A and B are shown apart, each in its own frame.
Chain A
């Protein structure tokens, strides 16, 4: 089956630094990927839609300058959390769709900003 790989699985960074998270579709091409954020004991909130070769589409309330998304190839999208602060600590998950039905999710990245 399709696999989406996300890296790193855990990252701890200092406040003010930037962190890059990668999301790869391993056996299919994904023109669109999605980035979600999940706070402890809460559900997934869609942050943005990553579009291959064009700008990402951000959900309302998500700062595009803070969460930079790059989708340079059909198998890779990156999310960079810039100037991270403790309130950005969260679980970030990407997904990619094969066709328009089932979504495949990465393993998630636990970001802790200290």
Chain B
């Protein structure tokens, strides 16, 4: 069953602004991943953060993880129109480590040029 909650569900910003998306989960995890999905397409892996990490950067992306609050955030800086997409967080199954991913509900981001 889906365990992730994401907020906001939808976000609309101007090009150049920063976009922040939040994700909460319910069980213990080994890692948390963020994915991007353009409309009607597959998922593109953005970044993985392990449970013993608190922050990770990749280009214009910054991800934080707070395991005490069971939450993560994805920050996209200096957004571009091409960043328009849906963004999902996904967690593993924790100790079972089967490779399954449990997805959040997603945030739809619209970046206006």
Residue ranges of A at the interface with B (Cβ–Cβ < 8 Å): 6, 32, 34, 36, 41-46, 49, 60, 91, 93, 95, 97, 100-108, 110
Contacts and interface: CB of A to CB of B under 8 A. Distances in A.
B88 A107 contact: no
Contacts of B42: 6, 93, 105-108
Contacts of A93: 42-43
A49 B33 CA distance: 19
Contact of A43 (B33, B40, B98, B105): B105
Nearest to A57: B98
A43 B103 contact: yes
Classify chain B: how many residues form its interface, as a range: 20 to 34
B48 A34 contact: no
Contacts of B98: 32, 49
B97 interface: yes
Contacts of A100: 92, 97, 99
Given A102-B45, A107-B42, A46 B104 contact: no
Contact of A102 (B1, B48, B88): B48
Chain B contact surface mostly: loop
Contacts of A107: 41-42
B100 interface: yes
Given A101-B48, A105-B42, 6 more contacts: A36-B103, A43-B88, A93-B43, A95-B43, A97-B99, A103-B45
Contacts of A43: 2, 4, 88, 103-106
Interface in B57-79: none
Closest 3 CB pairs of A and B: A105-B43, A107-B42, A44-B103
A96 B51 CA distance: 21
B106 A108 contact: no
Nearest to A6: B42
A46 B41 contact: no
Contacts of A46: 100-102
B102 A104 contact: no
Contact of A110 (B2, B33, B40, B108): B40
B85 to A, nearest CB: 13
